[in-house]
Amino acid sequence: MPSSEHSPSDGRTARRSEHRDAALRCVVRLFSENKLLPTIEMVAEASGVSIRSLYRYFGDGQTMILEAIEGLVAEAKTVGIIPNVGEGTFAERVEALVAARFRAYRLVRFVLRAALVNIANNPDLAASQHRTRGLLEFQFKAQFAPELSQLDEAEQTRVTQSGSAICNLEFIDMLSDRQGINEQDAQTIVRRLLTDILAP
């Protein structure tokens, strides 16, 4: 008798993947509803995935939260890529960096405050955030290498730290969400601040 093309284990694996994805999407949705410390029980009720399954998939609530945040951050890193980094006029490079950061912000805005709330209880989340900030700083330095190369080491450090803070996603969130500034005006503010500290 010919064997079936798909074994029962294939179906179980697919269901497991679907349920995990549904749970992680639910975590992000709860973040967007300002429920920044979602428990496995809350996610089970909102997603329809059983508590037992969630514990089997993630082990604990903090791991579930970490995976939800890291999944969205990974997507944001992709949309925040700058084509031809470091190329173009100064104004073009400022515009490209600002556009990239706001693309990333639109994607992760719901998890920013959740990450800050959860970071104290989740060392892995703190390490992940540290790596992300390092990547964003590296991108900043590559984008503005011509300007930074004209400065001495101490001034390079000061400008890099200041510029990274200005285009940090938490700063963008403060402008856009907490101060209620529309995106176009928020981009203008970030663009002007970057120009002030970097313009030759």
Per-residue model confidence (pLDDT) at position 7: 60
Residue 145: Cβ within 10 Å count: 12
Q: Please give the structure tokens belonging to residue 89.
A: 């006029």
Query: For 139-160, what is each residue's pLDDT tens digit?
Result: 999 999 999 999 999 999 999 9
The total domain count for the chain is 2
65 in a domain, yes or no?
no
Same domain as 74, residue 44: no
Is residue 26 assigned to a domain?
A: yes
Cα separation, 86 vs 92, in Å, equals: 10
Q: Tell me, yes or no, whether 45 and 74 share the same domain.
A: no
Residues 118 and 43 in one domain: no
**53 and 78 assigned to the same domain:** no
Closest alpha carbon to 82 in 91, 72, 95: 95
Which residues have CB under 8 Å from 163's CB, separation 6+? 140, 144, 194, 197, 198
Q: Which residue range is the domain that position 132 belongs to? A: 70-198
Q: What is the pLDDT of residues 74-96, one digit of tens each?
A: 999 999 999 899 999 999 999 99
Round the average pLDDT of the chain to a whole number and report it.
91
User: Could you tell me the pLDDT band of residue 1, with boundaries at 50, 70 and 90?
Assistant: very low
- Rounded to an integer, the average pLDDT of 151-170 is 94
User: Do the beta carbons of residue 172 and residue 102 sit within 8 Å?
Assistant: yes
User: Is 29 inside a domain boundary?
Assistant: yes
Look at the chain and count its residues: 200
Residues 168, 91, single domain; the answer is yes
- End position of a domain, from candidates 12, 34, 59: 59
Residues 103 and 190 in one domain: yes
Q: What is the pLDDT of residues 52-69, one digit of tens each?
A: 999 999 999 999 999 999
Is the same domain home to 146 and 95?
Answer: yes
The predicted model gives 152-176 an average pLDDT of: 94
Among 78-87, 121-130, 162-171, the range scoring the smallest mean pLDDT is: 121-130
* CATH code, 19: 1.10.10
**Do 81 and 179 fall into the same domain?**
yes
Same domain, 179 and 96: yes
Q: For residue 2, how many other CB atoms are within 10 A of its CB?
A: 4
Residue 80 half-sphere exposure, CB side, CA atoms within 13 Å? 27
Tokens standing for residue 90: 């100064």
